[in-house]
Chains A and B, each alone.
Chain A
Amino acid sequence: MLYIRSTGSISPQKTFGQAPFLTDPIVYRGNRLNCIEPEYKEIIDAKLIRRMSRIIKMGVTAALECLKEAGLTQPDAIVTGTAYGCLQDTEVFLSRIVENKEEMLTPTAFIQSTHNTVGAQIALMLQCHNYNNTFVHRGFSFESALLDAMTLLLENPDHHVLVGGVDEITDTSHVILSRLGLYRQGAAAGEGATFFLLTGLPSPADYARLEAVSTFYNPRTTAAAEQSISSFLASQSIDIHDIDLILTGRNGDEKNDAVYQQLGETIFKGRPLADYKNLCGEYPTSTAFALWMAANILKTGQGPRKILIYNHYLNRHHSLFLVSAC
């Protein structure tokens, strides 16, 4: 069991800084939700910021905000999940390979394009030499980072692990993913950088308790997905009626949402359901935003006491999070 000590999030909503929790949610039209970004120059040193692309600035800033809230400067580990990595730098690097006929390539875009750049930059800024890992597992990237954090905290419950999910949309990625049909049926592309400071010991300042995380891949039928959800709840010695709110990853795509629709008629029937991708859009690490949302709902101390997050990405990567009030 883990405790969420603090959070930091940059998303298409006003989630950064001292903004009140989604009191004035932004309603988006169209098929692309871009993050509302802070003035980075006020947060990151000018000498460092000049080499950072947008996703790096977003990730680093969300992480720093998370640590600032907890009053911590040195986490015992930094674990990041990202599916796409630093797309903007990757695009620059690949374009220059073509433009310069594979010669005279500048180093910055190449160095910054690797998937672990966000985690590395956080460590560099903090001069943190502790454990640092990045998980790149498509729709399980953030989940894998969380599972790693859980393992670390199982061994050392008094440690503090900074764990986050980051992904960006670029013009090129949006065109390519649109062409692949991801946003054809009503889903909107999203992006975000969300970090959590997790620890194994409770404190009065905690947002919530992360009880369990589980994933399952490519269920053949919705009944198989239902079975996996039941098994997950059983492993936590609860049933669906103990859940006060289910946050689902419905994204507006009829085919995608059919799974949630069918589960709404079976295992989720009669249970309070809410969506989150209308707020942050669809992206492989969107569950980081869902966890941020659940943590903030539970922190208010009013309303739900136990939240189940259930998401699937392209009906292949299915994930479950059980989060409780402290």
Chain B
Amino acid sequence: MDTLMADLKEQIVEQLNLQDIKPGDIGDDQPLFVEGLGLDSIDALELIVLLQQKYKIKISNAEDGPKVFRSVRTMAEYIKAHQPA
């Protein structure tokens, strides 16, 4: 789980081009959107594509989005639960 979260942090920083933020600066439970890391709706789309490309996971139910992308930990939990065998 820790390795997966570390990977996710690196991919988030790289994919979203978060300047002046290092992967280690992102807390496991830190909110990704609004008051936390300050991501927005375009970033949400980037994260959806990231899940599809890297982990072959498709978020089929749009209502799951806010729960899945709440933090790096919730993303990692969702990947663990849905990753193809």
Residues of A within 8 A of B (CB): 41, 46-47, 49-51, 100, 104-108, 111
Inter-chain contact A51/B17, CB cutoff 8 Å: yes
Inter-chain contact A107/B19, CB cutoff 8 Å: no
Closest 5 pairs between A and B when the two form their complex, measured CB to CB: A50-B17, A107-B45, A106-B49, A50-B19, A104-B52
A104-B52, A104-B53 known; A46-B19 Cβ under 8 A:
yes
Shortest C-beta distance, B18 to chain A (Å), equals: 6
Which of A41, A46, A47, A107 contacts B46, CB < 8 Å?
A: A107
A46-B19, A50-B18, A51-B17 known; A107-B42 Cβ under 8 A:
yes
Q: Is B20 engaged at the interface, CB distance under 8 Å to the other chain? A: yes
- Nearest A residue to B17 via CB reads A50
Q: Please indicate the chain A residues that have their CB under 8 angstroms from the CB of B15 in the complex.
A: 106
Q: How far is the CA of A46 from the CA of B17 in the complex (A)?
A: 10
Q: How far is the CA of A94 from the CA of B85 in the complex (A)?
A: 32
Inter-chain contact B49/A105, CB cutoff 8 Å: yes
Q: Please indicate the chain B residues that have their CB under 8 angstroms from the CB of A105 in the complex.
A: 49
Inter-chain contact A106/B45, CB cutoff 8 Å: yes
Q: Is B84 engaged at the interface, CB distance under 8 Å to the other chain? A: no
Shortest C-beta distance, A215 to chain B (Å), equals: 38
Residues of B within 8 A of A (CB): 15-20, 38, 42, 45-46, 49, 52-53
Shortest C-beta distance, B2 to chain A (Å), equals: 27
Inter-chain contact A104/B19, CB cutoff 8 Å: no
Q: Please indicate the chain A residues that have their CB under 8 angstroms from the CB of B49 in the complex.
A: 104-107
Shortest C-beta distance, A52 to chain B (Å), equals: 9
Q: How far is the CA of A113 from the CA of B8 in the complex (A)?
A: 27
Q: How far is the CA of A49 from the CA of B18 in the complex (A)?
A: 9
Inter-chain contact B52/A50, CB cutoff 8 Å: no
- Nearest B residue to A105 via CB reads B49
Q: Please indicate the chain A residues that have their CB under 8 angstroms from the CB of B17 in the complex.
A: 50-51
A104-B53, A106-B49 known; A50-B16 Cβ under 8 A:
yes
Inter-chain contact A51/B18, CB cutoff 8 Å: no
Inter-chain contact B42/A111, CB cutoff 8 Å: yes
Kindly list 18 other residue pairs between chains A and B, CB separation below 8 angstroms, not including A100-B53, A104-B52: A46-B19, A46-B20, A47-B38, A49-B19, A50-B16, A50-B17, A50-B19, A51-B17, A51-B42, A104-B49, A104-B53, A105-B49, A106-B15, A106-B45, A106-B49, A107-B45, A108-B46, A111-B42
Q: How far is the CA of A49 from the CA of B46 in the complex (A)?
A: 17
Q: How far is the CA of A197 from the CA of B47 in the complex (A)?
A: 40
Shortest C-beta distance, A111 to chain B (Å), equals: 7
Shortest C-beta distance, B64 to chain A (Å), equals: 18
Q: Please indicate the chain A residues that have their CB under 8 angstroms from the CB of B52 in the complex.
A: 104
- Nearest B residue to A111 via CB reads B42
- Nearest B residue to A100 via CB reads B53
Shortest C-beta distance, B21 to chain A (Å), equals: 9
Q: How far is the CA of A51 from the CA of B45 in the complex (A)?
A: 14
- Nearest A residue to B50 via CB reads A106
Inter-chain contact B38/A106, CB cutoff 8 Å: no
Q: Please indicate the chain A residues that have their CB under 8 angstroms from the CB of B16 in the complex.
A: 50
- Nearest B residue to A112 via CB reads B42
- Nearest A residue to B51 via CB reads A104
10 contacts between A and B (CB under 8 A): A41-B19, A46-B19, A49-B19, A50-B16, A106-B45, A106-B46, A107-B42, A107-B45, A108-B46, A111-B42
Shortest C-beta distance, B42 to chain A (Å), equals: 6
Q: Please indicate the chain A residues that have their CB under 8 angstroms from the CB of B20 in the complex.
A: 46
Shortest C-beta distance, A46 to chain B (Å), equals: 6
Shortest C-beta distance, A210 to chain B (Å), equals: 38
Q: Please indicate the chain B residues that have their CB under 8 angstroms from the CB of A51 in the complex.
A: 17, 42
Shortest C-beta distance, A104 to chain B (Å), equals: 5
Q: How far is the CA of A170 from the CA of B19 in the complex (A)?
A: 22
